[in-house]
Amino acid sequence: MTMDSDAPEISKTPPANAATYFDGASSRRRAVTLHFADRLEISDHEQTLAVWDYADIRRADSPSGMLRLGCPTVSALARLEVRDGALASELVSRCARLDENTPGRRGVAVIVGWSLAAAVSIVAVVLFGLPLIADRLAVLVPEAFERRLGDVADSQIKTMFDAKACDDPAGQRAFVKLVTAIRESAGLDTSVQSGVLSSPIPNAFALPGGRVYLFNGLLAKADNADEIAGVLAHELGHLKHRDSMRGLIRDGSTSFLIGLLFGDITGSSALIFGSRTLVTSSHSREAETNADGFAIDVMHRLGRPAKPTGELLLRVTGKEGKGLSIISTHPLSEDRLARMSREDRSASGPPLLTSEEWRSLKSICDGKSDPAKKSDPAKI
């Protein structure tokens, strides 16, 4: 061991092998000496405090400049602390399995590998699994539960938009006539509830449990009954396909899984929101396209043109530019109009409402002050 012959002659072993020992049973600090026999002997003067197998000794966390050892097989918390460099390297050379419990490169690779596997499976479930599950589950959800959900959404929406149901009798009669014609043609039963709400926002929506609402703002922008009929048929299409229930199951679980995936990276909420928007809006566009197809069919069955609805949409949203955004929830109004024009047939059936009825429908909300001055784009 000694290479330096000039080194002063110090008493043989004891001070050089000095270390500090905590026995794990009390916090007493003991100055100990180490003896390297076939096992490591830790002794305080003549009394042997512990005997550790070299193979069982493990490294414990320590501040820089100190080697700290433990022997989990003997005592979970007993610690041997060595500050002397030479003694520390002697110990390290004898304890072959010193770093066995430290993860090291290999452990990190395992963590990375499994994390990626988990990420891939979560993404796969979000993209392919959840739509399937939602499709299957949505039909299994009892009507009563769905109606209850609808009630909740109903009261929330009425509170949020401060909207009241319009009930001008003549207008209401015209509305019921229009809805009934579409509903029968769409093959939905009488459980469908519908109404006009007084809100300047040009929009219409379907709620779970068979409710369809039309905002007065959309009526104000419409030029004839066919335009509104197409919109209502579109919403009934959502009901028929149970899109809101499906959307609820799918979006709820998507948010949950994506949130799980990104976890705790500070500021990742924007990212979570972003990726969720991407995923859910692509499903939403698909549902909208299907509902449009449904509306076109219904209008054809009624012998009425589908094109006016597309024109109304474009009037409400304005030109949306080219190219489809992957974050839009709806297809472009231009494309929707183009499709409705392409599949359009000239009117073969009688008008859905007389011009008298159309006028009373337009004024169903009692001719309140011009409701559609400035408004958000429609989400129909």
Partner 1 sequence: MNQMSWPPQVPPPPPMPVPPPMPVAFSGSRGEFFDLAKRGAALELVTLGFYRFWLLTDIRRHLWSNTLIDGDAAEYTGRGKELLIGFLVALAILVPVYLGYFLIGLEAEHYQAFASIPLVAFFYLFGQFAIFRARRYRMTRTVWRGVRFWMTGSGWIYALQASLWGLLMILTLGMILPWRAAALERYKMRHSHYGDLQGSFEGRGWEFFKRGWWLWLLTPIAIYISPIAPFLYAGYKAIEWRWWLSGLRFGGVRLESSLPKSALIGLYWKVIGWMALLGLVFAVYLALCAGLVASMSGEGLTEFFKTPELMRSIPLLVLVGLGYLVMALAMNVVMRVYLTRDLWVTVLGSVNIIGIEAAANVAARGDLANALGEGFADGLDVGGF
- Going by C-alpha positions, the residue among 42, 67, 69, 73 that lies closest to residue 58 is 69
Contact residue for partner 1 among 12, 142, 323, 369 (CB under 8 A): 323
User: What is the footprint of partner 1 within residues 301-320 (CB under 8 A)?
Assistant: 320
Handedness of CA 211, 216, 222, 223 (dihedral sign): positive
The distance of closest approach from Cβ of residue 21 to partner 1 in the complex, given in angstroms and rounded to an integer, is 9
Contact 34, 95 (CB under 8 A): no
Contact residue for partner 1 among 5, 27, 190, 346 (CB under 8 A): 27
Computed on alpha carbons and rounded to an integer, the radius of gyration of the chain in Å comes to 38
Contact residue for partner 1 among 11, 190, 355, 369 (CB under 8 A): 11
Contact residue for partner 1 among 326, 356, 359, 367 (CB under 8 A): 326
The distance of closest approach from Cβ of residue 64 to partner 1 in the complex, given in angstroms and rounded to an integer, is 6
Q: Quote the crossing angle between the two packed helices 130-140 and 243-262, to the nearest 10°.
A: 140
Residue 36 vs 161, nearer CB to partner 1: 161
118 binds partner 1 (CB under 8 A): yes
Tokens (6 digits) for 276: 């969720």
The distance of closest approach from Cβ of residue 95 to partner 1 in the complex, given in angstroms and rounded to an integer, is 18
Contact 340, 296 (CB under 8 A): yes
User: What is the footprint of partner 1 within residues 168-227 (CB under 8 A)?
Assistant: none
Tell me how far apart the alpha carbons of residues 281 and 285 are, in angstroms, rounded to a whole number.
6
Residue 127 vs 366, nearer CB to partner 1: 127
Contact 299, 306 (CB under 8 A): yes
Judging by beta carbons within 10 Å of its beta carbon (0-12, 13-18, 19+), is residue 243 exposed, middle or buried? buried
Binding part of the chain for partner 1, among 125-133, 202-210, 323-331, 350-358 by CB under 8 A, reads: 323-331
User: What is the footprint of partner 1 within residues 247-276 (CB under 8 A)?
Assistant: 256, 260-268, 270-271, 274-275
Binding mask 143-172 for partner 1 (x = CB under 8 A): -----xx-xx--xx-xx-------------
The distance of closest approach from Cβ of residue 360 to partner 1 in the complex, given in angstroms and rounded to an integer, is 31
Tell me how far apart the alpha carbons of residues 117 and 24 are, in angstroms, rounded to a whole number.
41
Residue 65 vs 169, nearer CB to partner 1: 65
Residue 41, beta-bridge partner list: 35, 51
Residue 224 vs 268, nearer CB to partner 1: 268
24 binds partner 1 (CB under 8 A): yes
Residue 27 vs 190, nearer CB to partner 1: 27
Residue 80 vs 313, nearer CB to partner 1: 80
Q: In the Cβ-directed half-sphere of 248, how many Cα atoms lie within 13 Å?
A: 17
103 binds partner 1 (CB under 8 A): yes
Binding part of the chain for partner 1, among 5-13, 200-208, 214-222, 283-291 by CB under 8 A, reads: 5-13
Residue 54 backbone class (left: φ over 0; alpha: ψ -120 to 50; beta: rest): alpha
Q: Is 60 helix (H, G, I), strand (E, B) or coil?
A: strand
Contact residue for partner 1 among 13, 29, 342, 349 (CB under 8 A): 29
Site size toward partner 1, by CB under 8 A? 72
Beta pairing, strands 204-207 & 67-71 = unpaired
Residue 1 vs 346, nearer CB to partner 1: 1
User: What is the footprint of partner 1 within residues 37-76 (CB under 8 A)?
Assistant: 60-66, 68
Contact 40, 94 (CB under 8 A): yes
145: which DSSP letter?
Answer: H
CB count in 10 Å sphere of residue 367: 10
Tokens (6 digits) for 357: 């009825």
